[in-house]
Amino acid sequence: DAKTTQPPSMDCAEGRAANLPCNHSTISGNEYVYWYRQIHSQGPQYIIHGLKNNETNEMASLIITEDRKSSTLILPHATLRDTAVYYCTEYNFNKFYFGSGTKLNVKP
Amino acid sequence: DAGVIQSPRHEVTEMGQEVTLRCKPISGHDYLFWYRQTMMRGLELLIYFNNNVPIDDSGMPEDRFSAKMPNASFSTLKIQPSEPRDSAVYFCASSLGRGASSYNSPLHFGNGTRLTVT
């Protein structure tokens, strides 16, 4: 069962930062939060993950609240190619739980 | 790294027929997962293997579904007999485990098999 909640859709202007929120209020102390995205007709692609510290890689930044019950994925300069469904997932006991995701529409 | 390879990409079959989906995981990965994606239910985990052994098949919808992993480089998901409600995109994913830990390396997904049962 999905344990994360995300807004169904968001719009972002090309070149601007996209901030995608996720609530994972049932997360336990040792569960990681992972983010994936799925571009139409492809398999989900890994973006970033974290436990309690903020993380950054070449694709995005991840901000996790101190109580770990929510997080925000930040795409600093969104491009049209970032249009996709973004999934916030919990990893627990070898299982990744995918919610319904957020459809990010990047507009020119 | 060729990534996770699934075949076929598309499968159209008639109700009652047997369907076999195939997956080749990334070399060296010891976990393999089968997911199903539909508009109504999203991404659902069906079953996963560790070192070729099925660990959790609680997501398999019913006895018509079966999965095998005869070796580290090949897995199959079989539906017999198929029904129209089985129409979905089936994804295979693999990852590298890190033992008894809350952390696992990210999933690497194939591009899926789109199954249509008429």
pLDDT digits (tens, 9 = 90+) for B26-72: 999 999 999 999 999 889 999 999 999 999 999 998 899 999 999 99
Helix, strand and coil percent figures for chain A, each rounded to 5 = 5, 50, 45
Distance from CA of A40 to the nearest CA of B (A): 10
Helix, strand and coil percent figures for chain B, each rounded to 5 = 5, 55, 45
Contact state of B50 with A94 under an 8 Å Cβ cutoff = yes
pLDDT at B103: 57
Interface A:B, Cβ pairs < 8 A? 55
